[in-house]
Every structure is written in structure tokens, then in C-alpha cells.
Amino acid sequence: MRLHIGYLLSLEDSERARAACLKYLQNYLLVFFPLRPDIVEQMQQTAQELGGQLGRPRLPWKYSWIKEFAGWNCAKHAQLLLPQVKWSLIRFWDKVAFRMENRRLGQVNPVG
């Protein structure tokens, strides 16, 4: 991330570029918070070097209620795990539906 910021600032070191770098850091802060406090601290230092401050990351609304009941770690794990579970269930259902359709077609129109 520091390399990306360095590349951008080497092309244009303006308030606009620094604001874009701060936005970039803020957008990716949730990836590391709260599981990697060392990286979060480095990101905060980089933000200060850019003349800004990073705010506390916000979870998407789908997972923010989990944070209230079970804490950040549980909400963060849910954010990573639940989409995988959802797509696994979708793939499973698609396979079941495909097999049911083939079985139905095989009984009505036997081939061979």
C-alpha cells in the first residue's frame, strides 16, 4: 500500500492526491482491523504523514449488528465466512436441481 501511495505521490504531490491516498487507506482499513493492529498502526502513521487521520472502520450493515452482540472479531469472521457459505449452498442447490432435471428427463425420454 505504501508503494501505491508513493507511486501516486511521485506523479502528483497535491492535496487532491493526498486526499485520494487517505481515502485509499480508509477503504482498506477494515481488511486489517482488528486482527492486525500492527498494520493498522502503520496505516495510521502513513495517514499522519499525508496530513490526515483515519477514522474507525465501519462494517457493512449486514454485519454491523453482529458486532453489537458478539464483537468485532466475530463480525469480521462472519463477513469473511458467510459469503462463502452462501455460494456453497447455491452451488449445492444448482447441482441438486440439475440432477433432478436429468433424472426427470431420463425417465420421460430414455436415450439408448
Instruction: Calculate what percentage of the chain has a pLDDT beyond 90.
Output: 78
Helix or strand (DSSP H, E) at 35: none
Indicate the number of domains in the chain: 2
Output the pTM of the full model: 0.69
Q: Find the mean pLDDT for residues 57-78.
A: 91
Residue 28 belongs to domain spanning: 2-49
- pLDDT tens digits for range 4-44: 999 999 999 999 999 999 999 999 999 999 889 999 999 99
Query: Backbone phi, then psi, for 57, in 5-degree steps?
Result: -65, 150
In a domain, residue 56? The reply is: no
The confidence score (pLDDT) of residue 35 equals 86
Hey, what amino acid is at 22?
L
67 plus 45 within the same structural domain: no
- pLDDT tens digits for range 69-78: 999 989 999 9
DSSP 10-34: HH--SHHHHHHHHHHHHHHHHHHTT
41 plus 75 within the same structural domain: no
